[in-house]
Structure 1
Amino acid sequence: MNKQERDNKIIVEVCTGSYDDCIAASKGKADRVELNSALSVGGLTPTEAVLKRVKKDTDLCVICMVRDRAAGFCYPESEKEIMFEQAKALLDAGADGLAFGFLNANGEIDRDSTKEMIDLIHSYQSKREAVFHRAFDVTPDMEKALEVLIELGADRILTSGGKAKAEQGIEMIARLNQLADGRIELLAGSGVNALNANKIMDETGIYQVHSSCKDYLTDPTTEGNDVTYAYLPAPHSSEYDVVSMEKVKELVEAVK
Structure 2
Amino acid sequence: MSKRAVLEVIALGVEDAVAAQAGGADRLELVTDMAADGLTPPVETFAGIRAAVDIDLRVMLRLADGFAAGDVGRLVRVARELRDAGADEFVLGFLDADGGVDLEAVERVVSELDGCRWTFHRAIDRAADRDALRKQLDGMPGLDTYLTAGSPTGVDDGLAVLLTEAVRAGEPGYEQRILVGGGLRLAHVPTLLTAGIDAFHIGGAARPHGWEGPVSVGAVAEWRAVLDGVS
TM-score by length of 1: 0.80
2:7 is paired with a residue of what secondary structure? Answer: strand
**Cα pair 2:14 2:52 within 8 Å, conserved:** no
Q: Identify the match of residue 9 of structure 2 among 11, 14, 19.
A: 14
How far does residue 51 in structure 1 lie from its aligned partner after superposition? 1.1
Following the alignment from structure 2 to structure 1, what is the Cα–Cα distance between the partners of residues 126 and 196? 22
Match of 1:162 in 2: 151
* Fraction of identical pairs, as percent: 25
Q: Identify the match of residue 93 of structure 2 among 72, 81, 101.
A: 101
Match of 1:118 in 2: 110
Q: Identify the match of residue 191 of structure 2 among 196, 199, 214.
A: 199
Deviates more, 1:151-160 or 1:11-20: 151-160
**Cα pair 1:216 1:241 within 8 Å, conserved:** yes
1:8 is paired with a residue of what secondary structure? Answer: coil
**Cα pair 2:149 2:184 within 8 Å, conserved:** no
Following the alignment from structure 1 to structure 2, what is the Cα–Cα distance between the partners of residues 17 and 194? 22
Match of 1:74 in 2: 68
- Within a 5 Å distance, the mapping from 1:132-143 to structure 2 comes to 132-143=120-131
Following the alignment from structure 1 to structure 2, what is the Cα–Cα distance between the partners of residues 38 and 108? 25
Match of 1:210 in 2: 201
TM-score by length of 2: 0.88
**Cα pair 2:29 2:60 within 8 Å, conserved:** yes
> What runs of 5+ residues in structure 1 fail to find an aligned partner?
218-238
Match of 1:35 in 2: 30
Following the alignment from structure 2 to structure 1, what is the Cα–Cα distance between the partners of residues 92 and 33? 15
Following the alignment from structure 1 to structure 2, what is the Cα–Cα distance between the partners of residues 150 and 159? 17
Q: Deviations over 1:169-189 (max 9, x none)?
A: 121112222334262111100
Structure 1 residues 174 and 196, CA, compared in 2 at 3 Å: closer, same or farther? closer
Structure showing greater Rg:
1
Following the alignment from structure 1 to structure 2, what is the Cα–Cα distance between the partners of residues 89 and 198? 40
Which AA in structure 1 matches 2:209? Answer: Y
How far does residue 9 in structure 1 lie from its aligned partner after superposition? 4.0
Q: Identify the match of residue 18 of structure 2 among 15, 23, 26.
A: 23
> What runs of 5+ residues in structure 2 fail to find an aligned partner?
none
Q: Deviations over 1:83-109 (max 9, x none)?
A: 111111112212231101111110100
Which AA in structure 2 matches 1:245? Answer: V
Structure 1 residues 74 and 101, CA, compared in 2 at 3 Å: closer, same or farther? same
Cα root mean square deviation, aligned: 1.9
